[in-house]
Amino acid sequence: MSAITVEHLTHVYSQGTPFEKTAVDDVSLTIEEGEFVGVIGHTGSGKSTLIQHFNGLLKPTSGRILVGDRDMWADPKKIREFRFMVGLVFQYPEYQLFEETVAKDIAFGPTNMGLSAEEVQQRVQQAARFVGLNPNKLEKSPFELSGGQKRRVAIAGVMAMNPKVLILDEPTAGLDPRGRDKVLNEIKQYHKTQGNTVLLVSHSMEDVAKYADRVLVMNKGKVAMFDTTEKVFARSEELSAMGLAVPQVSRICRGLAARGLNIDPNCYTIEQAKQQLLALRSGKGADLNA
Ligand SMILES: Nc1ncnc2c1ncn2[C@@H]1O[C@H](COP(=O)(O)OP(=O)(O)O)[C@@H](O)[C@H]1O
Ligand SMILES: [Mg+2]
Could you tell me if 285 and 189 lie in one domain?
no
**Is 242 among the domain residues?**
no
The pLDDT tens digits for 54-102 are: 999 999 999 999 999 999 999 999 999 999 999 999 998 998 898 999 9
Domain boundary pick from 186, 208, 233: 233
**Is 181 among the domain residues?**
yes
Domain housing 272? 247-290
Which ligand has its closest atom nearest to the C-alpha of 50?
A: 1
Within 10 angstroms of residue 71's Cβ, the number of other Cβ atoms is 12
Within 10 angstroms of residue 117's Cβ, the number of other Cβ atoms is 10
Could you tell me if 164 and 221 lie in one domain?
yes
Could you tell me if 260 and 217 lie in one domain?
no
Element spanning 235, H or E: none
**Is 8 among the domain residues?**
yes
**Is 16 among the domain residues?**
yes
User: Whole-model pTM?
Assistant: 0.92
Q: What are phi and psi of 116, to 5 degrees?
A: -70, 160
Could you tell me if 55 and 193 lie in one domain?
yes
Q: Which amino acid is at 131?
A: V
The stretch 137-143 carries a mean pLDDT of: 95
Whose alpha carbon is nearest atom 4 of ligand 1?
13
Closest atom of ligand 1 to 24 CA is 14
Could you tell me if 141 and 266 lie in one domain?
no
What is the CA(82)–ligand 2 centre distance, in A?
Answer: 21
Could you tell me if 42 and 170 lie in one domain?
yes
User: pLDDT over 70 for what percent of the chain?
Assistant: 98
Helix axes 117-130, 102-112, angle to 10 degrees: 120
Pairing of strands 222-228, 214-219: antiparallel
* Residue 288: predicted pLDDT: 52
* Residue 207: predicted pLDDT: 87
Q: Is 17 in the pocket of ligand 1 (CB under 6 A)?
A: no
**Is 213 among the domain residues?**
yes
Could you tell me if 261 and 118 lie in one domain?
no
The pLDDT tens digits for 6-15 are: 999 999 999 9
Sign of CA dihedral 197, 203, 206, 209: positive
Q: What is the CATH number of the domain that holds 226?
A: 3.40.50.300
Could you tell me if 226 and 268 lie in one domain?
no
**Is 240 among the domain residues?**
no
How far is the C-alpha of 205 from the C-alpha of 196, rounded, in Å? 22
Could you tell me if 44 and 131 lie in one domain?
yes
The pLDDT tens digits for 159-174 are: 999 999 999 999 999 9
Contact criterion met (CB below 8 Å) for 242 and 225:
no
Helix axes 248-258, 270-281, angle to 10 degrees: 30
How far is the C-alpha of 49 from the C-alpha of 69, rounded, in Å? 22
Closest atom of ligand 1 to 48 CA is 21
Could you tell me if 184 and 289 lie in one domain?
no
Could you tell me if 140 and 228 lie in one domain?
yes
Domains identified in the chain, total number: 2
Closest atom of ligand 1 to 43 CA is 23
Q: Is 201 in the pocket of ligand 1 (CB under 6 A)?
A: no
Burial 229-251 (b: 16+ CB within 10 A, else e): bbebbbbbeebeebebebbebbe
**Is 239 among the domain residues?**
no
Could you tell me if 128 and 265 lie in one domain?
no
Residue of 265, 263, 223, 260 whose CA lies nearest to 247: 265
